[in-house]
Structure 1
Amino acid sequence: MSTKPLVFSFFSGAGFLDLGFEKNGFEIAYVNEIHTPFLEAYKHSRLKLNIPPPKYGYHNGDIGELLSKNSNTMADLMKNAKLSSDLVGFIGGPPCPDFSVGGKNKGENGENGKLSKTYVQLICEQKPDFFIFENVKGLYRTAKHRAFFDTLKKMLAKAGYKCTERLINSIEYGVPQDRERIILFGTRDKGIEKFNWNLDIKFPDRSAFDHEWPDTAGEEWNLLNHPNIPRELMIEHWFKNNDVTNHPNSLDYFTPRAGLVKFQTIVEGDVSRKSYKRLHRWRYSPTAAYGNNEVHIHPILPRRISVSEALAIQSLPKEFELPESMSLTNMFKTVGNGVPFLAAKGIASSVKDFLGA
């Protein structure tokens, strides 16, 4: 019998959420990802981090293939897993553009939106001891999407799950980023009210935003005059901490076709535009979302941020890297899609505490 809880990971991307669980003593036993470049990045990063491959392997395909009507594979794996460990869980964040205000907004009828229901159907079929469901705040706050979210929770309740949810902001966990996401935790244990969301929270009740953060660059604002602002939430802290200039992905960034003019006219800290937001050295980043023409500019250099800098903004350990064979588009997409590592680690800590694992 395994001493570690076993976790089946779905929509794994490059594995940021998984890494948070791995660092809390969970064993990732199975990995599902349909996009081959993301799965190859997952394998590459684990090799660099000296983390062994999942005991039940990788599934490079649609999660719908795992439902009982299409295959008995998942049932066989779950049977084996439950014989191997006292606790078996599912974690995953289904693709979210259909629920994002800035995305397609097609909701449950969109191709990505349907995957949320498929994930919940798989949970109800296989009945893991616990699960994590992660998605954008639009699923929680937009009325028509919230109705769909409530339907998913009713499905889970019918299958015997007790659930608790929270709209988290990654900055609460010490991530240098303003990023809200809805997290749903479910268990077959009836004591769900004992789940402690605040276990690893470093900046509760939006206290991270209460400081006198700089607006845009100017001589009147001096870092030395603001000693109480948390340095660990500043981009510059993470760039230095992760040694981004010497990181394997330091030279991975898009070069503008139109030259340097646009980059040179936007002042440090100006994030007022939908795109071409210049970050500030002494402030946290807006949400790291590098699709839909979203562009983040380096605080002081006339270029877009690099992959190594984006990984730092996602609070990844400096040893985490993406393979050079990966396209820039796929690199930034998997970074932007991922759950910030410190937030993932904090959520996993609360799950571990609740389970007594």
Structure 2
Amino acid sequence: MINNIKIFSFFAGCGFLDLGFEDTGFEIVYVNEINPSYLNAYRYSRTLMGYSPPEYGYSTAEEGNIEYLLEGESALNLWYLIQDARKSSDFVGFIGGPPCPDFSVGGKNRGKYGDQGKLSSSYVELIGQHQPDFFVFENVKGLYKTQKHRLFFEQLKAQLNEFGYILTEHLINAMGYGVPQNRERIILIGFSKKLMNGLGWSGYFKKDSIPSIYFPWNLSIIYPKEQVFSLPWPSNEPFGENSVIPCPDEIIEELTVEYWFNQNNVNHHPNAQNYFKPRAGLQKFLSIAEGDDSRKSYKRLHRWRYSPTACYGNNEVHLHPYKARRLSAAEALAIQSLPKNFCLPEQMSLTDMFKVIGNGVPYLASKGIANSIMTFLSHPIQLWNTEQDSVYQLELPLSLA
């Protein structure tokens, strides 16, 4: 039985990914984030929610730069913390999503040569240097699906194999976990060969990768994407300020924007008034139909549909379904499936609020990923039939029988 898994978090933002792991039973003991505003929001939200601060504290200022952790005294200090964590835990893991604009079609698209693209390589180097028992690497689908970036992704995987990790990867859609948002992300998870051998998996993996049938990727999937996309979601409606439209039949209400607005009580949330007010151009806010998200910017959400990917930057603007304004931070947090008691500090700039929200891993998706890892580590000699979502016992190899 697993008693304790300690997590070192990198590129933490204000902690959406971390929160999903915390609420699944992992212990976040170290938090790395270079942006002081984001890190302050991390502290603020955890204090409000009653969570204990990380055992080894927060990596701030220069030490928040992951490249700074690869050499010198900072690298040595991190090594000592990891060794200390091993004394009181069953496993030590790294989790993180390096900044992704350099791999995003809608972003800078500079790939591995961009300033932020290089951080993916730094994260992999950090994993190789400190040898956690497992790691999570999260990034945009462009790293996985775009041909010129896919080569770099394969190079990273080959490097991780050389560092002694067996890998599994999956292109997830956050909607599958109950998030009201069409958001695809590539998740790469690696387990050290030493750990896998110790858990009895020796002999199952011959190519340094875990076949999908061995890892419970679908364990927490509530709504398969084929089911979601086949439903008769409503089309666009003429915009009507404060209009009332009943929820249509034959859709999944729990995946709609309006359901989450109500669930999180966004009109009375502490961040309800945190939204950009236009200096001019109010007419544009009145002219775009509810549900018209066809534009690069000024996408208006439909109350009875899921949101497009929450990306609040690079001049991308998302409008409230039935109010003549942009989304509030409270509404954006709801679309990212955060608990309703998760709040950002009032003094945080609007730019930082929306950037950190848009960059975060949706909370329910984070919980789903964490649950898959916890289940895999807790039941090492089992096989999950991902098509039937059932668990059955494997026949042990002769060497283990």
TM-score norm. by structure 1 comes to: 0.96
Residue pair 1:172, 1:206 contacting (<8 A) in 2 also? no
Give the corresponding residue for 1:199: 219
- C-alpha separation between the residues in 1 aligned to 2:117 and 2:102? 5
Look up the SS of the partner of 1:355 in the other structure: helix
Partner of 1:114: 118
Structure 1 residue 217 displacement after superposition = 1.2
- 2:336 corresponds to which residue? 314
8 Å contact from structure 1 (residues 49, 319) kept in 2: yes
Within-5 A mapping of 1:206-217: 206-217=226-237
* Distance in 2, Cα, partners of 1:172 & 1:297: 24
Distance verdict in 2 for CA 1:69–1:146, change over 3 Å? farther
Rounded to whole Å, the distance in 2 between the matches of 1:59 and 1:212 is 47
Could you say what the CA RMSD is over the residues aligned between the two structures, in angstroms?
1.6
Asked if residue 11 in structure 1 is aligned to residue 31 in structure 2, the reply is no
Q: How does 1:192-341 map to 2 (within 5 A)?
A: 192-193=210-211, 194-217=214-237, 223=246, 226-341=248-363
Which of 116, 141, 148 is the aligned partner of 1:144?
Answer: 148
Counterpart in the other structure of 2:376: 354
Distance in 2 separating the partners of 1:133 and 1:139? 12
CA distance, structure 2, for counterparts of residue 95 and residue 283 of structure 1: 28
CA deviations on 1:300-328 (whole Å, 9 max, x unpaired) are 10000100000000000000000001000
- Secondary structure of the residue that 1:91 maps to in structure 2? strand
What residue number does 1:179 align with?
183
Instruction: Please report how far the alpha carbon of residue 3 of structure 1 lies from its aligned counterpart in structure 2 after TM superposition.
Output: 2.6
Q: Output the CA distance in 1 between the equivalents of 2:177 and 2:16.
A: 15
> In the TM superposition, what is the alpha-carbon distance from 1:68 to its structure 2 partner?
3.8
The runs of 5 or more residues in structure 1 that have no matched partner are none
Distance 1:73 1:63 in 2: 13
Distance 2:128 2:32 in 1: 17
> What is the CA–CA distance in structure 1 between the aligned matches of 2:24 and 2:230, rounded to whole Å?
30
| 8 Å CA contact 1:177, 1:284 repeated in 2 | yes
- Structure 2, unmatched stretches of 5+, are 202-209, 380-401
Q: Verify: 1:66 aligned to 2:55, yes or no.
A: no
Q: 1:131 aligns with which of 123, 128, 135?
A: 135
Would the aligned equivalents of 2:175 and 2:225 in 1 still touch at CA under 8 Å?
no
Q: What code does the residue aligned with 1:215 have?
A: S
Aligned residues: 354
Tell me how far apart the structure 1 counterparts of residues 363 and 97 of structure 2 sit (CA, whole Å): 14
Q: What's the CA shift for 1:206?
A: 3.0
Q: Is the 8 A contact 1:173 1:200 kept in 2?
A: yes
Deviations 1:195-244 (A, max 9, x none): 1100000112432111100110169x9745x4221110010000000000
Who is 2:163 aligned against? 159
CA contact (8 A) 2:175 2:183 kept: yes
Alignment partner of 1:72: what SS? helix
The one-letter code of the counterpart of 1:134 is E
Using the alignment, how far apart are the partners of 2:109 and 2:263 within structure 1?
37
Counterpart-to-counterpart distance in 1, 2:66 and 2:261: 36
By how many angstroms is 1:83 displaced?
1.0
Give the residue type in structure 2 aligned to 1:66: L
Q: Please, what TM-score do these two structures have when normalized by structure 2?
A: 0.86
Paired with 1:73 and 1:291, the residues of 2 have a C-alpha distance of 35
